[in-house]
Amino acid sequence: MRIATITNWAYGATVCLTLAAGATMFMASNADREERAAVSQRDQFDELAFELESDIAQLTDQARLFAVSGDPSHAIAYDRVLADIGPVEQRLTRLRDAGANAVELRSLHEGLRQAETLQDEQQAAIAAMRQGDDATARKIVFGPEYERELERAHFLLGRFRYMLDQRSDEVIRKASEASQQLRSVSEVTVSITAILFLFVLGFILKRRILRPVVTLSDVVSRLAEQDYDVQPPVFSHVDEIGDMAHAIRIFRENGLERQRLERERDADWAVRDLLARMTQRLQGCESVDDLYEVVGIFAPRIAPHLAGRLYTLDARLGLMVCNARWLGPQGSDASLDPDDCWALRRGQIHSPGAALDDVPCRHVATDARPATICVPLTAQGETIGLLALENLNGTSAPDASTAIYIELMSETIGLALANLNLRAELHEKALFDPLTGLRNRHDLSDVLGRLVVAADAAGRTLACLMMDIDLFKRLNDQFGHDAGDLVIRAVAGVLASAIRDDDLVFRYGGEEFLMLMPGLDEPRALERVSQIQARIAALDLVHDGHALGAVTISMGLAIYPDHGPAQSLIATADAALMRAKEAGRDRVVVANRRKGDVPAPA
């Protein structure tokens, strides 16, 4: 029951009990008034009865005194008393007005008639006395007949007074009992009202209002401090306090939901910040190795429950090669055929699902298939890599936010990888000869400068070998340009296989090549030249079924700093090459040790 209903009922009951108590108190007051009126009436009746008896006694005394003494004053006093008494009807009217009932009035009437009889005898005695008949007068007022009549008058008046007393006592008794009962009822009503008031104070105010409100106040205070761990009390009764508790529970649930959303928002912001930072780092990568390192650092932080591998496409092998891994995914890091991955086939995210309700990828270990997520890396419609992810929670389907992060991460990595591939392709086109795969002369000056600085710092020499294929124009004219390209590629292959790790070979232009060999002095450089000559002489080239014949090259060798300064090293080697050609080709000429050869002006 609601507090308002209980309060209304209690208020109504209190009002009713208060009205009842007031009514009983009013009725008790009326009973008291009736009791007092009955007492007053009895006193009035007693006074009237006493007056009657007193009048009878005075008349008797005055008549007897006059009969005995003959003193006229007694007769005069008798007449005065008789005149004051008045007639019988007047006395009856007074008593009737005082409240005497018919029975009492009849009894009184008999007494008054008896008193009138006595008055007649008294007047007869007075008259006899005035006539001088003393004996008759005394006989009348002192005779036995008079005494009997006097006693009868007193008896009748006494009976009247008795009847009055009985009736008055009964009225007083009833009025007193009624007053007492009404007082008792009033006291009981007041007691019930007090008990009801105490019940309202104790039960309603304390138990149903004060105690729950104190509890709810503490809960509200803690909720105001965003302490949502507090548990609002549960009240079984349905009332306003229960509504408040329900509202507080809803407020707490909303607060918890808001905290959850704030945590999700903060986590989302943190992940997006990581994605932004990863994007910035990827934009700053100079090589794919830098990209692999960045992905290996940021991927486990963006999706900490997803282990994974980053595969990139090796166009030469036609395979996806694992270049980065994080959080220890199952299986091996072996390269995979793109046809083994359904994500690469379909060009979109693929997961077989925890129940394996889709086709699993063949490259994934059997135990890891239910938790695998494959994400292709594409750029401008071309697949360039793969993210093979493994859900460490055991289920493959990521939540909505994680799926968004995976998509953003894959797009970012794919774009960065495509940019690096494009940069590498452009760099290769700018620095390497497409026919031979050797460096071209685009950055020769920079490379030579760095090698010279390194040689000076280490106190070593730097050998420069300039080479030219002999009679190349005639070969071109005789067998065609394709045959010439074949010869150039073959010679380039020999040169590439003859160098050390720190040696560099350049296609200088046309059929000319340049080799830089750090740390080699003249004897060791000539030894390397002999090896190159032998390998080139061993070439047996055939084009379109025609043998191209022996291939020879002419070479000029210059050593820094023995044959001159760094800025003229290439020119010195080229001058030595020209001398080799002039000397009959298929030979090597070493530059002059002091000055070096300088080519003639064109």
Q: Which of 199-213, 421-435, 542-556 has the lowest mean pLDDT?
A: 199-213
Cα–Cα distance between 256 and 260 in angstroms, integer? Answer: 6
pLDDT of the residue at 601:
32
pLDDT in tens, 361-375: 888 877 667 678 889
Tell me, what's the pLDDT at 472? 92
Rounded distance between C-alpha atoms, residue 179 and residue 171, angstroms: 12
Residue 90 has what pLDDT?
Answer: 64
CATH class of 273-430: alpha beta
Q: pLDDT tens digits, residue range 138-161? A: 888 788 888 888 888 888 878 877
Residue 602 reports pLDDT greater than 50? no
Q: Do residues 486 and 541 lie in contact, with contact meaning Cβ atoms separated by under 8 Å?
A: yes
* Average pLDDT of the chain to the nearest whole number: 83
Neighbours of 33 (CB within 10 A): 12
Give Rg (Cα) of the chain: 71
How far apart are the C-alpha atoms of 205 and 208, rounded to whole Å?
6
Distance CA 582, CA 9 (A): 132
- 270-275 LR contacts (CB < 8 Å, sep 24+): 271/302, 271/401, 271/405, 274/298, 274/301, 274/302, 275/302, 275/405, 275/408, 275/409, 275/412
- Please report the pLDDT score of residue 427 as a whole number: 76
β-pairing verdict for 504-509 and 439-440: parallel
- Residues sharing a CB contact under 8 Å with residue 491, sequence separation 6 or more, in sequence order: 467, 469, 513, 536, 539, 551, 553
User: For strand 439-440 and strand 372-379, is the pairing parallel, antiparallel, or unpaired?
Assistant: unpaired
Domain boundaries, the chain: 3-196, 273-430, 432-590
Per-residue pLDDT at 45 exceeds 50: yes
Beta-bridge partners for 319: 314
* CB neighbours of residue 471 within 10 Å: 15
Which letter does DSSP use for residue 350 in this model? B
Taking Cα atoms as reference points, which of 302, 301, 303, 291 lies closest to residue 377? 291
Residue pair 308/326 in contact by the 8 Å Cβ criterion: yes
> Contact at 8 Å (CB) between 516 and 540?
no
Helices (H), 284-385: 288-302, 342-346
pLDDT in tens, 566-592: 999 999 999 999 999 999 999 999 998
Q: How many CA atoms lie within 13 A of 62 on its CB side?
A: 21
Question: For residue 439, what are its two tokens?
Answer: 């460096």
- Quickly name the fold that domain 3-196 has: Four Helix Bundle (Hemerythrin (Met), subunit A) (1.20.120)
Domains 3-196 and 432-590 share a fold: no
The torsion defined by the Cα of 420, 289, 438 and 479, in degrees rounded to 10, comes to -70
Q: Residue 437: left if φ>0, alpha if ψ -120 to 50, beta else—which one?
A: left
Percent share of the chain, pLDDT over 70: 88
pLDDT digits (tens, 9 = 90+) for 464-507: 999 999 999 999 999 999 999 999 999 999 999 999 889 999 99
Q: Alpha carbon 184 to chain centroid distance?
A: 62
> What CATH number is given for 432-590 in this structure?
3.30.70.270
> How many CA atoms are closer than 13 Å to the CA of 29, on its beta-carbon side?
6
**What local confidence, expressed as pLDDT, does residue 25 receive?**
73
Compute the distance between CA of residue 514 and CA of residue 599 in angstroms, rounded to an integer.
16
Q: How far apart are CA 445 and CA 431, in angstroms?
A: 12
